[in-house]
C-alpha cells in the first residue's frame, strides 16, 4: 500500500515544487498503463507514442498549477482522453459515433465470426483473441474497459475522465464485458 | 493498481469479470520505447532545473563567462592598481611638472595631511584647529642639500605640540630630535625672514612646502602682510 508520501498526488505536488525524482517515480508507475490505453485506442504504435508524449508534456507544463481536486489517475486519464479526442477530430475518422451518449449501435453490433465461442485451452491464444475482440469494440466501450483495467478507475472516475455521466459509463462497460465474454467462448 | 469499485447497486459480476481481468493482465507486457522514456524524463527534469540554474549561478556564469573570469579580473585589477602606484613618481619629483598639474599634486598631498591634523586636534580636545599643513610622515625623505628648508616641515607638528599639550603624546616621535633647534630657529626668525624663506621655496618650485610655511606664517603673524612672499600668478 502506498503511504501518503508515496501517493500519486503527493508525488505530483512534489514535482510541482521542483522535485524531478518525484516525477520519475510517477512516470515509472503510470507509463505502462497509459501507453497501453493509448495504443489500444488508436492501434498504431507511432501515433500512440506521439499522443503519449503529448500527455506527459502537458502534465509537465501544468505542474505548477496542480492542485488535488481528484485522484491523480483521474486527472492523468482525462488529459489522455482529451488528447485522444483531439486526435480523432484531426484525423479523417472524426470522433467515433460510439462516443455519443445514446449510441444505437451498442445493442446492434454483431459478434465477429472469429469470436464465436470456441474451446480454447491455450492461454496465449485466448489472450490474442481478447486483444482482437478488444480492438473490435467501439471506441467508447473499449475506453471504459481500458480505464477500468489499466487505469484502475472507478465508475465515477471514468465518468469524470471522459466527461460523461456515470450511467453512460456503466452501460458502456456492461456492453464491453458482455461482448468480450461472448467472444471468448461464453464462459459466463 | 486496480481499485475498481462498481458501487452499491451494481451486481459485482455485471461490471467486473475476474477471468477477463486476469486474461487481460497477461497482455500488459507492452511498454513505451526506451528512447521515449528518456525524452520525457529529460523534459521533466529540464523543466524544473531551469529556474534552479538561475538561482544557483552568479551573473558571470549566466552571461557565458567561464568560472575563472571573476577571480582573474579581480587579480588583474589589483596588479594594475599596485603597478600604477609604484610607477607614479614620489611627491618631491612632482615639482618638475607643469604648473597646473603641480598645483593639483600639491593639493592632493596637502589635503590628507590637513585632514589628519584636524582629526588629531579634534581627538586631543583642542578648541581651535591648527592650520592645514603637510604631515611629516607623509612626505618623502629630503635630499641633503634641502635639509635646512625641510626642517620647516616639522613646524606645524611642533606648534601643535606647544599649543595643545593633549596632542603631544600622539605626535611623539614625529620629530623629537629636531624639535629644539627648529623651535629656536622659528622663534628667532623675523617676519621678513619668513617671507624670504617662503619666496625662496616658491622660487625653487616647491609649492607644497611653501604653502605649508605660508600657512604657519599667517597663523603666527596674522597682521603681517605676506604679499611679497606670495608666488607670482
Q: In the predicted model, is pLDDT for residue B124 greater than 90?
A: no
Say yes or no for a CB contact (<8 Å) between B15 and A56: no
Q: Are residues A19 and A50 part of one domain? A: yes
CA distance A49 to A35: 8
- Looking at beta carbons, which residues of chain A come within 8 Å of B38? none
Which CATH number is A48's domain given? 1.10.1740.10
Structural contact between residues A81 and A143, judged by C-beta atoms closer than 8 angstroms? yes
Note whether residue A56 is domain-resident: yes
Candidate from A14-18, A122-126, B82-86, B166-170 with smallest mean pLDDT: B166-170
Three-state secondary structure string covering B122-177: HHHCCCCCCCCCCCHHHCCCCCHHHHHHHHHHHHHHHHHHHHCHHHHHHHCCCCHH
B64 touches chain A (CB under 8 A): no
Q: Are residues A86 and A12 part of one domain? A: yes
Note whether residue A1 is domain-resident: no
Residue A171 phi, psi dihedral angles, 5° rounding: -65, -45
Instruction: Please say which residue of A57, A73, A90 terminates a domain.
Output: A90
Q: Are residues A175 and A103 part of one domain? A: yes
Say yes or no for a CB contact (<8 Å) between A177 and B49: no
pLDDT of res. B142:
45
Q: Are residues A170 and A123 part of one domain? A: yes
What pTM does this model have?
A: 0.52
Say yes or no for a CB contact (<8 Å) between A27 and B37: yes
Number of domains in chain A: 2
Q: For residue A181, how many other CB atoms are within 10 A of its CB?
A: 18
Q: In the predicted model, is pLDDT for residue B166 greater than 80?
A: no
DSSP one-letter string for B31-72: ---HHHHHHHHHHHHHHHHHHHHHHHS-HHHHTT--TTHHHH
Q: In the predicted model, is pLDDT for residue A188 greater than 80?
A: no
Domain range spanning residue A48? 8-90
- Please tell me which of the candidates B15, B17, B30 has its beta carbon nearest to residue A36: B30
From the CA of B63, how many Å to the nearest CA of chain A? Answer: 24
pLDDT of res. A144:
94
- Please tell me which of the candidates A18, A19, A181 has its beta carbon nearest to residue B17: A181
Q: What is the mean pLDDT of residues A40-63?
A: 93
| Residue in the structure block whose three cell numbers are 580636545 | B125
Note whether residue A3 is domain-resident: no
CA distance A34 to B40: 14
pLDDT of res. B26:
85
Cell of B8: 452499491
Q: How confident is the model at residue B94 (pLDDT cuts 50, 70, 90)?
A: low
DSSP one-letter string for B94-135: GGGS-HHHHHHHHHHHHHHHHHHHHHHHHHHT-SSPPPP---
pLDDT of res. B100:
52
Structural contact between residues B224 and B191, judged by C-beta atoms closer than 8 angstroms? yes
Q: For residue A107, how many other CB atoms are within 10 A of its CB?
A: 7
Three-state secondary structure string covering A112-163: CHHHCCCCCCCHHHHHHHHHHHHHHCCHHHHHHHHHHHCCCCCHHHHHHHHC
Q: In the predicted model, is pLDDT for residue B43 greater than 80?
A: yes
pLDDT of res. B171:
44
CA distance A73 to A9: 9
pLDDT of res. B175:
45
Q: Are residues A59 and A85 part of one domain? A: yes
pLDDT of res. B104:
53
- Looking at beta carbons, which residues of chain B come within 8 Å of A15? 44, 48
Instruction: Please say which residue of A62, A90, A118 terminates a domain.
Output: A90
Note whether residue A78 is domain-resident: yes
Q: Are residues A79 and A21 part of one domain? A: yes
Q: Are residues A173 and A104 part of one domain? A: yes
- Looking at beta carbons, which residues of chain B come within 8 Å of A184? 20, 23
The pLDDT mean for chain B works out to 66
Say yes or no for a CB contact (<8 Å) between A49 and B27: no
pLDDT of res. B195:
87
Burial degree of B67 (CB within 10 A; 0-12, 13-18, 19+): exposed
Chain B residue with minimum CA distance to A45: B32
Structural contact between residues B215 and B131, judged by C-beta atoms closer than 8 angstroms? yes
- Please tell me which of the candidates B26, B44, B51 has its beta carbon nearest to residue A23: B44
pLDDT of res. B85:
87
Instruction: Please say which residue of A90, A107, A133 terminates a domain.
Output: A90
The radius of gyration of chain A's CA atoms, rounded to the nearest angstrom, is 18
Q: In the predicted model, is pLDDT for residue A117 greater than 70?
A: no
B172 touches chain A (CB under 8 A): no
Percent of chain B at pLDDT exceeding 70: 43
pLDDT of res. A115:
46
Most B CBs within 10 Å: which of A56, A79, A124, as the mutation test of the B interface?
Answer: A56
Report DSSP state, residue A19. -
Q: Are residues A79 and A12 part of one domain? A: yes
Q: In the predicted model, is pLDDT for residue B126 greater than 70?
A: no
Per-residue burial over B4-36, b if 16 or more Cβ lie within 10 Å, else e, is bebeeeeeeeebbbeebeebbeeeeeeebeeeb
pLDDT of res. B49:
84
Note whether residue A188 is domain-resident: no
Per-residue burial over A135-148, b if 16 or more Cβ lie within 10 Å, else e, is ebbbbbbbbbbbbb
pLDDT of res. B137:
47
Q: Are residues A86 and A33 part of one domain? A: yes
Which CATH number is A119's domain given? 1.10.10.10
Structural contact between residues A41 and A143, judged by C-beta atoms closer than 8 angstroms? yes
Say yes or no for a CB contact (<8 Å) between A153 and B30: no
Candidate from A21-35, A52-66, A143-157, B136-150 with smallest mean pLDDT: B136-150
CA distance B123 to B161: 13
pLDDT of res. B119:
52
Percent of chain A at pLDDT exceeding 90: 63
From the CA of A162, how many Å to the nearest CA of chain B? Answer: 16
Return the number of CB contacts < 8 Å for A and B. 109
Q: In the predicted model, is pLDDT for residue A158 greater than 90?
A: yes
Q: Are residues A175 and A102 part of one domain? A: yes
Structural contact between residues A58 and A77, judged by C-beta atoms closer than 8 angstroms? no
The pLDDT mean for chain A works out to 85
Amino acid at each position: 500500500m502506498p503511504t501518503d508520501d508515496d501517493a500519486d498526488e503527493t508525488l505530483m505536488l512534489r514535482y510541482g515544487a521542483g522535485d524531478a525524482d518525484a516525477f520519475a517515480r510517477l512516470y515509472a508507475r503510470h507509463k505502462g498503463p497509459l501507453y497501453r490505453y493509448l495504443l489500444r485506442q488508436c492501434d498504431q504504435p507511432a501515433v500512440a507514442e506521439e499522443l503519449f508524449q503529448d500527455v506527459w508534456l502537458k502534465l509537465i507544463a501544468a505542474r505548477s498549477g496542480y492542485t488535488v481536486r481528484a485522484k491523480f489517475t483521474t486527472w492523468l486519464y482525462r488529459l489522455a482522453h482529451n488528447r485522444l479526442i483531439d486526435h480523432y477530430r484531426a484525423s479523417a475518422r472524426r470522433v467515433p459515433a460510439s462516443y455519443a451518449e445514446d449510441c444505437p449501435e451498442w445493442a446492434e453490433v454483431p459478434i465477429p465470426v472469429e469470436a464465436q465461442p470456441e474451446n480454447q485451452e491455450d492461454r496465449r491464444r485466448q489472450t490474442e483473441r481478447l486483444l482482437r475482440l478488444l480492438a473490435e469494440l467501439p471506441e467508447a466501450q473499449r475506453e471504459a474497459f481500458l480505464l477500468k483495467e489499466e487505469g484502475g478507475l472507478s465508475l465515477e472516475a471514468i465518468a469524470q475522465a471522459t466527461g460523461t455521466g456515470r450511467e453512460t459509463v456503466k452501460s458502456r462497460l456492461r456492453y464491453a464485458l458482455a461482448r468480450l465474454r461472448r467472444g471468448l467462448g461464453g464462459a459466463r | 493498481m486496480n481499485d475498481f469499485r462498481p458501487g452499491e447497486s451494481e451486481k459485482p459480476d455485471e461490471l467486473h469479470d475476474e477471468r477477463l481481468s486476469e486474461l487481460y493482465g497477461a497482455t500488459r507486457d507492452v511498454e513505451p520505447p526506451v528512447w521515449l522514456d528518456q525524452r520525457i524524463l529529460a523534459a521533466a527534469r529540464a523543466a524544473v532545473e531551469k529556474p534552479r540554474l538561475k538561482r544557483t549561478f552568479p551573473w558571470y556564469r549566466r552571461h557565458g563567462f567561464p568560472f575563472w573570469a571573476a577571480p582573474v579580473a579581480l587579480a588583474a585589477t589589483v596588479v594594475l592598481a599596485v603597478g600604477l602606484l609604484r610607477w607614479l613618481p614620489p611627491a618631491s619629483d612632482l615639482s618638475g611638472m607643469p604648473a597646473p598639474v603641480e598645483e593639483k599634486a600639491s593639493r592632493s598631498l596637502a589635503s590628507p595631511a590637513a585632514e589628519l591634523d584636524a582629526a588629531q586636534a579634534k581627538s586631543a580636545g583642542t578648541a581651535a584647529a591648527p592650520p592645514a599643513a603637510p604631515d611629516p610622515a607623509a612626505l618623502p625623505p629630503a635630499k641633503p642639500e634641502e635639509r635646512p628648508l625641510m626642517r620647516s616641515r616639522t613646524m606645524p607638528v611642533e606648534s601643535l605640540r606647544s599649543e595643545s599639550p593633549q596632542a603631544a603624546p600622539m605626535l611623539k616621535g614625529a620629530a623629537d630630535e629636531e624639535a629644539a633647534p627648529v623651535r629656536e630657529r622659528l622663534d628667532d626668525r623675523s617676519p621678513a625672514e619668513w617671507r624670504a624663506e617662503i619666496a625662496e621655496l616658491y622660487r625653487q618650485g616647491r609649492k607644497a612646502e611653501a604653502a605649508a610655511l605660508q600657512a604657519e606664517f599667517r597663523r603666527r603673524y596674522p597682521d603681517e602682510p605676506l604679499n611679497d612672499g606670495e608666488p607670482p600668478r
